[in-house]
Structure 1
Amino acid sequence: MNGGLYRSTHAAPDGDPHSQEGVTIISVDDQSPTASGDQALPPETIPPAGGESSGNTTRQSAIMAIGSLVSRIIGFVRTALIGMAVGTTVGNAYTNAQFLPNQIYELLLGGILSSVLVPLLVRRRKSDPDGGQAFTQKLLTFAVVSLGIATLLVVSLASVITAIQSSSDSSQATKDLVTDFAYLILPIIFFTGLSGLAGAVLNVRGHFAAPMWAPILNNIVVIATCGIFILVYGGQKELTPENITGAQIALIGGGTLLGIVVQALGLLPALRKVGFQWKWRWDPRSLGLREVGQLAGWMLVYAGANQLAVFMVVKVLSGAGDDHPSTLVFNNVFLLTMMAHGIVGVSVMTALLPKMSAAAAEGRFDEVSADLSRGIKLTSAALAPIVVVYAVLSAPIAVFLFQGGRFSNADALATGDVLTVAAFAVIPLSISYLCTYAFYALQGNKTVAMINLAVVAVRIGAYFVLAELLSKSLLAAGMTAGNAVSYLLSALISLTVLRRRIGRLNLGTVLASLIRVAVAAAVAAALGYLVVRLLPGAGEPDGRIQALLQLVVGGAVILVAYLVTAILLRVQEVSQVAGMVRRKIGR
C-alpha cells in the first residue's frame, strides 16, 4: 500500500527495490482454482535448486545484501546527477516521462510476475520431468510477444498518454518535452519486462545475486550519460522546455533507455550459468492462462489502485508549473522514505513472515498476533531515530545528496522541507506493510486489495484537497503529507480488520511501547535541533561541507540521545540490542 511513485525491483530505474524489497519471492501453497479468490501469496525464500549447501545459501545472501547496499548508494548518485545535469524544470518533465513506463509495467507484469508467474515456474520446476524448461520457454515466448505488442501500442499513444497525465496548468512547451522524453523512455517497458522475467527464472533456480546486481549496470550507464551531458552542456546556465535541444533530449532519454537494455543483457550470462536455454516455443494454450488470470485478479486490483494514485499525484504535481521542482523533489524524497522502510521494515517482515504463515496455517492465531505485535514494536523502535534524522537534518541531507550543477541550494533546501514532512510517513508506512504481510499469512489477498481501494480513494482525495489549499511551492510537501495520512489510515483499518479475524492483538503493550519510543525520539529531536542550530549554516547549509558537518555532529547527538533515553525508558527492543552489543564487547 505504498501510494507513492511505486516501482518494482526490476522497474525501478535507480535499482532501488522499493516494492519487492529484499531477496524474497512468492510461493503459493493452495493452487486449486477455488483458492484464487483470496489466495495467500506470502514471500518466502526459495532454497537453491540442486541441494546446494547452507553455506552457499549464506554466501548468496551476503552477496545480495552487498548488492542491495551498493545499488542504493549508486541509485542516489544517479538521482542527484540527473538534477545536476538538467535542472529542476527539465528534471520535472524527465521524471514525469519516467513514471509512464514504470506505471504501465506494473499493470502489465510487475505484481503478476511476483505473485503469479514465479509460483507457476516453481511448481513446474518441481513437477515437470525437464525441470520446467519447456514450460518456461513457452511462458517467456508468450510474455515477450505480449510485451512487444503492448510496448509498440503504448509508444504509438505516447502523445495521448502524456496529454492525459499533464495538468492544464503546464505550458505547451513542457507537455511537448514530456512527450519527447516519453517516446525515448517508453520502450523501457519491454526491456524491464525481459529483465523481470529473466530475474524470475534465475530466482526459481536458486540464483539471486545477478538480479540484485543487474540494476547497478543500469545506474552506471545513466550516471555516465549524466556525466557526458554535464561535460558537454554544463556551460549553459539554465535548461528550460523552450531552449533544450533535440540532441540534449536524445542524450538523456536515450541514455535512460540504454541503461535498462544493459541491465537486461547483463542477466544473460547468469541464465546460461544456471543451465537455462532460450528457445522459441509458441504454445499459449498449454500455459493455463485461465488459471493465471484467476490468480492475478486481486493483484491487478491492488496494482491498478496504486498506479491510479501515482497517475493522479503526477497530474497534480505537474500543475505546479515550471518554476517549482515539484515532481523531481517529490520523487527524490519518496526514494529516501522507501530506503528507510526497506532497510528496517522489510528486514523485519522477511524474518517474521514464515513463522506467521506457519502459525496461521495451523490456526495458532495467538502466535500470529504476538508476532505482529512484536514486529510493530521492533520496527517502530528501529525506525524512530531515522525519523528524527529525516525531520531534524532534512536540509543537510538534501544539500549533501542533491545540490550541485543546475540543482541549486534553494532547490535542495526545498527538498529538505518535503523530507521533513516525509519523516512522519516512515513508521506508518512500515506498520501498514506489516499488516499487509499478516494478511498474506492469513490467505487474505482479497482483503488487502479491498482495504487498498479505500485507502487509495482517501489518498487521491487528499491530493486534490491539499492541491486546492496549498500554494504551488508547497505541492510536493502536500502530496507527501497525503501519502502519510493514507499510510496511517491503512494501518488503522488493517489492525481493526485483523483484530476481528485473529482476536486480541496486544495493542495495549504496543501502544505503551510506542509512547516510550515517541518520548525518546522527542528528546533526541530536541537535542539534535539545538546542536544543529549552533553549527555553521544553522540548519540551512550553503554547501556540502556545512551539510556534512551538520550530518556528522547532529546525527551523532540524535543517535546517542535516542539510545540513552530509550534504554532509560526501558524500550525493550533497544535494550535487547544494547545488551547484545555489550556482550560482544565484553567477549
Structure 2
Amino acid sequence: MTERPSLGQLYTQPAPPARTTSQHDLAGSLGEQFSEWIAEDTATKAVALEVDDATEVGTQFDTSLPGRLGRQWYVDNADSFATRDEVAGTDAPDRADEAGSHPTDRVGRRTASYATHPVETTPAAGADVPAAPGAPQTAGTARADQADQRPAPSGRAGLARAGALMAAGTLVSRLLGFLRGTLQAAAIGTTTVPANVWSTANTLPNIVYLLLAGGVINAVLVPQITKSLQHEDGGKGYTDRLLTLAFTILGVLTVLCVAAAPLLYKLYDFNASGSRLALGWSFALICLPQIFFYGMYALLGQVLNARGRFGAFMWAPALANVVAIAGLVYFLARMPRQASIDQWDSSMIWVLAGSATLGIVLQALCLIPVLRRDGYRFSPNFRWRGVGLRAASKVALWAFAAVILQQLGLVVTTNVLNTQPNGEPGKASQEYAFLLFMLPHSLLTVSLVTALFTQMSRAANARNHALVRRDVREGLRLIGVATIPCTVGGIVLAEPLITAFYGEGSVWPIGSIMVPMLLGLSIYGLCVTVQRAFYAYEDARTPFRMQLLCTGIAVVITLGALLVPDRYVGIGIGLALTVSNAAQGFVGLRWLQRTTGRIMVSDIVRSYVRLTLAALVAGVVAFVVFALLAQVVSGRSGALVVLVVAGPIFLLVYVLVARRLQVKEVEELLRPITRRLRRA
C-alpha cells in the first residue's frame, strides 16, 4: 500500500491533488482542499477536533505552515473551510450521545447518516429519499416511485436559484402593491377618516394571517413535514392529518370572528362611534372571511416550501393585487373620490372591500393545482391520534403565545394612530409607510430566509449545528448587501419616493413613520433569521421570550408618543419598531448560540461597515442629483424623474465603492452578470 503524504508534503507540491467533496457544499478553492486535508489527514486530526471554528483552525496552523498562509488569510476566508463540526459530522456533545448508533470513519466522522447540503451534482429529483419510515436520510437512496419528493435547493447555487425565483414573484407582487396603494390613495386618501377606518378593518384578517404564517405555521409545518418526508408514503398521511386539523380550526375561527366583527373592530378603534363605527363594522364583515383563505394560502404555501417548491407561494399575492387593482379602477371610474364618511354607501363598501376579499380567495385557491402537479393531492383525514401532533402542538402553543403578544402591541399602536386628526400620521399613513419599508425586506430577506428555513430544519433535525450556523451566517451576510443601501437610499430619496406614489401632501405623514423604520431594516432581517433558526430546532419558547422583550419595549415607546405633539407621533411609532427589534434581534442571537455554539460574526460586521460606507457615499451623490433636479422639476411627475435618474446613479456608485472596498458579497452577486458580459 502506498503511504499517504502528510499535509505539509501535500502543500509543498506544485499543485495540490484533486479531491472529491462528498458532503460539503464548498467553493472549489484552496479552502475546499484544506478542509478535506483536515478531515482526512491523521496528522491533523487532533487540531481539527480541538478547535471550534474555521478561523481558529487557521490560527492553529499559521505558526507551522509557510508564511503565505497567515492568520488574516484564514479570517478573511473563514467560510471556505469546513468547521470542526462539519469535519466530524456533528458537534462533540452529540457524538457521545450517538456513540454506537452510526458507522464512523477513522476520524470519527459519521458516514452520511443525516441529511446535509448536497453537492451540485446530486440529482434534484428523488434525492435523499429514505428507505424506511423514520430512518435517517441518506444520499443516493432515491427511488423512482418517489421521484416527486424533491428536496429543497441546497447550497449557494440552489439557495440563489430559490431566492431569485421568490424575489421575482415578490418584486412583481410588491410593484402591483404599490400601484394598488397609489390607486387606493387616490380613491380614499391617505389621512382621511375613511382611509383610517378601511386600513383598520382590512388589518383584522391580516392579523390572523400573521398569527398563522408568522408564528404557528412557520414554527410547526416546515420542520414537521420535512421530517415526515422520510415516511414510506412521502409524508402524505401526516400532511393530510395536519392540514385537516388546521383547516378545521381555521373554519371555526373564521365563523367566530365574523360573528364578533363589531367587537373586533372596536378593539382596534376605541374612539369610533356613529358613522365611523358603522363604516368600520361594514368593512370588517366583508373582510373577515379572508381569515380562512389567508390561512389556507399560508398552509398550502408552507407544504410547497417543505417540498422544495418556493415560487408559487411568492407569486400568488400578485394575483390578489391584480383583482384588488381592478376593483379600485372601477371605484375610481364610478364612485366619488375621497368622499367624506357620511357619503359612503353600500355599493362603495362592496366594491372596495369585496374586491380585496375576492383577491385573497383566488390567492389561496391558485396553489391547489401547483400542489397537484408536484404530486400531492389533499385527502381529508380526521384521524389525528398517533401521528405525533402532540409534540407539534407544544411548539404551536408557544408560537401562538408569541403572536398574541405581538398583536397586543399592535392593538396599542393602532389605537394610538387612530387618535390622530385629519392630515396627521394615522393608521393609513402607517400602512403605506410599512409597505415601503417591507419592499426590500420582502424582496431579499423573506425570500432568502424562506429558502434557508428548509435547509436549517434538515440540519437542525440531524443536530448538525455547524450547518445551521453556516446558514445563519450566509443569511445575515446576504441580507446586508440589499438592506443597507435600501436604508440609506430610502432615507435620502424619501421625499420623491412618497410624492411619486402618494402625492406631495403625504410626504410628512408617511415619511415621519417610514424613515425611523428604515433605520432598523437590517436589524429586522436579523430578527427574522434568528427566529427561523429557533423554529428549525422546533423551539418556539425562545422566540416567545424574544417577542415578550420586543413587545414590552415597543409598547412603552408607543405610549410615550402620545406625550408629543400630533405632528411627531409618527416618529415615535417608527422608532418603537426599530428599537424593539434591535433588542430582540441581538438578545435572540446570543440565545441562539447556546444551542448552535459560537456564531462567528466579526467578518459580517466588517462587511456591514464597508457596505454602510459605500451606501453613504452613494447617498451623498444621489442627494446632490436630487437637489439639482428639484430646481427644474416638481410635482409627482418631477418626483418620478428624480427617482428614475437618482436611483440608478445611487445604485451604480454603491456597487463601485463596495467593489473598491473589496466587499466579497457584492462580488459574488455580480459575478454571474460580469461573466455573461464577458462572454457576450
Aligned match of 1:74: 176
Counterpart check, 1:180 vs 2:263: no
Counterpart check, 1:314 vs 2:402: no
Please tell me whether Structure 1 or Structure 2 has the larger radius of gyration of its CA atoms. 2
Q: Is the 8 A contact 1:48 1:205 kept in 2?
A: no
Map of 1:87-166 to 2, 5 A cutoff?
Answer: 87-88=189-190, 89=192, 90-107=194-211, 111-121=215-225, 123-124=227-228, 126-127=230-231, 129=233, 136-166=239-269
Map of 1:551-570 to 2, 5 A cutoff?
Answer: 551-570=643-662
Measure, in 2, the Cα distance between the counterparts of 1:374 and 1:201: 24
Structure of higher RCO (CA pairs closer than 8 Å, 6+ residues apart) = 1
Map of 1:520-559 to 2, 5 A cutoff?
Answer: 520-536=614-630, 541-543=634-636, 545-559=637-651
Query: SS in structure 1 opposite 2:341?
Result: coil
Task: Give deviations 1:417-475, integer Å, cap 9, x for gaps.
Answer: 43333221211212233333444566653222212211221112111112322x32333
For the structure 1 residues 200 and 48, does the alpha-carbon distance in structure 2 shift closer, same or farther, using more than 3 Å as the test?
Answer: farther
1:370 Cα offset (Å): 6.6
Map of 1:339-488 to 2, 5 A cutoff?
Answer: 339-346=439-446, 349=449, 372=472, 375-403=475-503, 409-412=504-507, 414-440=509-535, 444-469=539-564, 471-488=565-582
Q: Is the 8 A contact 2:492 2:623 kept in 1?
A: yes
1:350 Cα offset (Å): 5.7
For the structure 1 residues 300 and 537, does the alpha-carbon distance in structure 2 shift closer, same or farther, using more than 3 Å as the test?
Answer: farther
Measure, in 1, the Cα distance between the counterparts of 2:265 and 2:643: 39
Aligned AA for 1:151? T
Aligned match of 2:354: 254
Measure, in 2, the Cα distance between the counterparts of 1:220 and 1:531: 34
Query: SS in structure 1 opposite 2:545?
Result: helix
1:166 Cα offset (Å): 0.8
Task: Give deviations 1:528-568, integer Å, cap 9, x for gaps.
Answer: 222211113689x411x211221122223322332333334
Equivalent of 1:514, from 590, 593, 608? 608
Measure, in 1, the Cα distance between the counterparts of 2:659 and 2:387: 56
Q: Is the 8 A contact 1:356 1:368 kept in 2?
A: yes
Equivalent of 1:223, from 325, 333, 336? 325
Query: SS in structure 2 opposite 1:319?
Result: coil
Q: Is the 8 A contact 2:148 2:375 kept in 1?
A: no
Q: Is the 8 A contact 2:523 2:581 kept in 1?
A: yes
Measure, in 1, the Cα distance between the counterparts of 2:671 and 2:375: 47
Measure, in 2, the Cα distance between the counterparts of 1:370 and 1:289: 30
Q: Is the 8 A contact 1:527 1:558 kept in 2?
A: yes
For the structure 1 residues 333 and 47, does the alpha-carbon distance in structure 2 shift closer, same or farther, using more than 3 Å as the test?
Answer: farther
Identity, % of aligned pairs?
Answer: 30
RMSD: 3.8
Measure, in 2, the Cα distance between the counterparts of 1:61 and 1:205: 15
Task: Give deviations 1:391-430, integer Å, cap 9, x for gaps.
Answer: 0111211222334xxxxx3025532343333221211212
Aligned AA for 2:207? Q
Counterpart check, 1:214 vs 2:308: no
Query: SS in structure 2 opposite 1:127?
Result: coil
Aligned match of 1:573: 665
Aligned match of 2:132: none
For the structure 1 residues 442 and 149, does the alpha-carbon distance in structure 2 shift closer, same or farther, using more than 3 Å as the test?
Answer: closer
For the structure 1 residues 117 and 527, does the alpha-carbon distance in structure 2 shift closer, same or farther, using more than 3 Å as the test?
Answer: closer
Measure, in 2, the Cα distance between the counterparts of 1:206 and 1:578: 26
Aligned AA for 1:81? L
Query: SS in structure 2 opposite 1:242?
Result: helix
1:321 Cα offset (Å): 3.1
Measure, in 1, the Cα distance between the counterparts of 2:181 and 2:238: 39
Of stretches 46-55 and 517-526 in structure 1, the one that deviates more from structure 2 is 46-55
For the structure 1 residues 276 and 328, does the alpha-carbon distance in structure 2 shift closer, same or farther, using more than 3 Å as the test?
Answer: same
Q: Is the 8 A contact 1:352 1:375 kept in 2?
A: yes
Aligned AA for 1:179? W
Measure, in 2, the Cα distance between the counterparts of 1:282 and 1:360: 30
Task: With the length of structure 2 as denominator, give the TM-score of the two structures.
Answer: 0.69
Of stretches 139-148 and 151-160 in structure 1, the one that deviates more from structure 2 is 139-148
Q: Is the 8 A contact 1:399 1:413 kept in 2?
A: no
1:123 Cα offset (Å): 4.9
Measure, in 2, the Cα distance between the counterparts of 1:448 and 1:467: 29
Normalized per residue, the structure richer in helix is 1
Measure, in 2, the Cα distance between the counterparts of 1:480 and 1:549: 28
Counterpart check, 1:265 vs 2:395: no
Structure 2 stretches lacking a partner, 5+ long: 1-114, 127-145
For the structure 1 residues 51 and 246, does the alpha-carbon distance in structure 2 shift closer, same or farther, using more than 3 Å as the test?
Answer: same
Query: SS in structure 2 opposite 1:239?
Result: coil
For the structure 1 residues 281 and 499, does the alpha-carbon distance in structure 2 shift closer, same or farther, using more than 3 Å as the test?
Answer: closer
Equivalent of 2:429, from 310, 322, 329? 329
